[in-house]
Amino acid sequence: MTVPKRRLSKMKGRLRRTHYVALVPTLAKCQSCAAPVRPHHICPKCGMYRGRQFFLAPDEIKDKMQPDTQQAQDKKQQKEATKERRSKRKK
Ligand SMILES: [Zn+2]
């Protein structure tokens, strides 16, 4: 293990720490929804970048998922119906 040869003065440490700065991210406006976006990045709110859709916004996904869930429910009902039929046959 390396060991420092000399004790670092308060000033030296403090001077080094003057460069520890929290950077403020530069933000641009989304062209489609006007939300704050990092430049050259896909908008996290609407998924648009340079006029192209890269992913769906959470609200849109919900809208698209609802018919799927209905289909899933229908499938469940069908499965239950087939189970009932099969159980009746056995008896
Ligand atoms: Zn946007």
Q: Please indicate whether residue 91 or residue 58 has the higher confidence score (pLDDT).
A: 58
Compute the distance from residue 48 Cα to the ligand 1 centre, in Å. Answer: 6
Q: Are residues 41 and 70 in the same domain?
A: no
Of 39-43, 50-54, 67-71, the one with minimum mean pLDDT is 67-71
Q: How far apart are CA 90 and CA 83, in angstroms?
A: 11
Cα of 57 from ligand 1 centre, angstroms: 9
Average pLDDT (53-82) is: 77
Domain around 47: 24-55
Residue 7's alpha-carbon distances to 11, 13, 18, 19, 72, in angstroms, are: 12, 10, 19, 21, 69
> pLDDT for 5-40, tens place per residue?
999 999 999 999 999 999 888 999 999 889 999 999
Q: Are residues 44 and 72 in the same domain?
A: no
Task: Please classify residue 5 by burial: count the beta carbons closer than 10 Å to its beta carbon, then call 0-12 exposed, 13-18 middle and 19+ buried.
Answer: exposed
Question: Residues 43, 68: one domain?
Answer: no
Cα separation, 48 vs 41, whole angstroms? 9
Average pLDDT, the chain: 86
